[in-house]
Structure 1
Amino acid sequence: MKTDLFTTAREAMTHAYAPYSKFPVGAALLTDDGRVFSGANIEVASYPEGWCAETTALGHYVMAGGGRIMEICVVAEKMDRITPCGGCRQRLAEFADADTKLHMCDQNGIVETVTMGDILPFGFKGDTLK
């Protein structure tokens, strides 16, 4: 499934709308029931507003009813081993567990896998706000 997730993220990247940064990014999320949700970054003229690839994928995921996220794959055209930005780390942590796998890629595939707990060890959780 890892290869398919990478392929899906790379395909999503081809749909990025990044006329200002010229930095296309694609992301794909795999849920425990086998569904895959993808997204690309989308910029707007009031740059740096817009949304990241992970945010787009999360939007599709939430609209489809969510589920447990098992794996996340992120790929960028111009940067190997890209990780989600700080904001996206927190957004992903809202729906993923600390042991959810995050795959960082180059143009040929997955080059490193870490967990969400590795990249956001002290992220906020909903129970923090109660």
Structure 2
Amino acid sequence: MPTAAPPAIAAELRRLLAHSHAPYSGVHVAAGVEAEDGSIHYGVNVENAAYPQGVCAEASAISAAVTHGYRAIRRVWLASSLPGLIWPCGGCRQKIWELSEPGCEVVSVGPDGRVETHAIEALLPLGFRLEPPR
């Protein structure tokens, strides 16, 4: 499922990698989530020595969107300091699933400009949702 990352979003993800706090893994991650009105909310990973108390970039971005009153995610973009593409962990896949619209795209943006997209339903088959997003 090819979806190009808009250049402004890809550039912002790359810029935000420097804000990540990853002294333990050394892997810096930035995420952006598109809310139902098209607004983009960003977050980065914040690791903590008291693992698993850190926060994934996806969870950080979702929290930013929810803080601003949004409850329906259309799209998620990810970038990292790793050489290839990355995908959300299981916990973040569930967070995306619970707050996403059907067909929500998860877009991984590689450092070389390569982009790959999958629907959240493909990344988390049979995810659990109490009710549809609001």
With the length of structure 2 as denominator, give the TM-score of the two structures: 0.86
Task: Output the CA distance in 1 between the equivalents of 2:102 and 2:15.
Answer: 27
CA deviations 1:46-83 (Å, max 9, x no partner) are 13421100011011111000143221101110141100
1:96 aligns with 2:108: no
CA deviations 1:74-130 (Å, max 9, x no partner) are 111014110000000001111112301111121133521111111011111014xxx
- What residue is the counterpart of 1:29 in the other structure? 33
Number of paired residues? 128
1:49 aligns with 2:53: yes
- 3-state secondary structure, aligned to 2:98: helix
- Residues 1-130 of structure 1: matches in 2 within 5 Å? 2-127=6-131
Task: Output the CA distance in 2 between the equivalents of 1:89 and 1:48.
Answer: 16
Task: Output the CA distance in 2 between the equivalents of 1:96 and 1:10.
Answer: 24
Two-structure CA RMSD over aligned residues (Å): 1.8
Given that residues 103 and 110 in structure 1 are in contact (C-alpha distance below 8 angstroms), is that contact kept between their aligned partners in structure 2? no
- 3-state secondary structure, aligned to 1:83: coil
Task: Output the CA distance in 1 between the equivalents of 2:27 and 2:70.
Answer: 28
Task: Output the CA distance in 2 between the equivalents of 1:117 and 1:110.
Answer: 22
User: Which structure shows the bigger proportion of residues in strand conformation?
Assistant: 1
With the length of structure 1 as denominator, give the TM-score of the two structures: 0.88
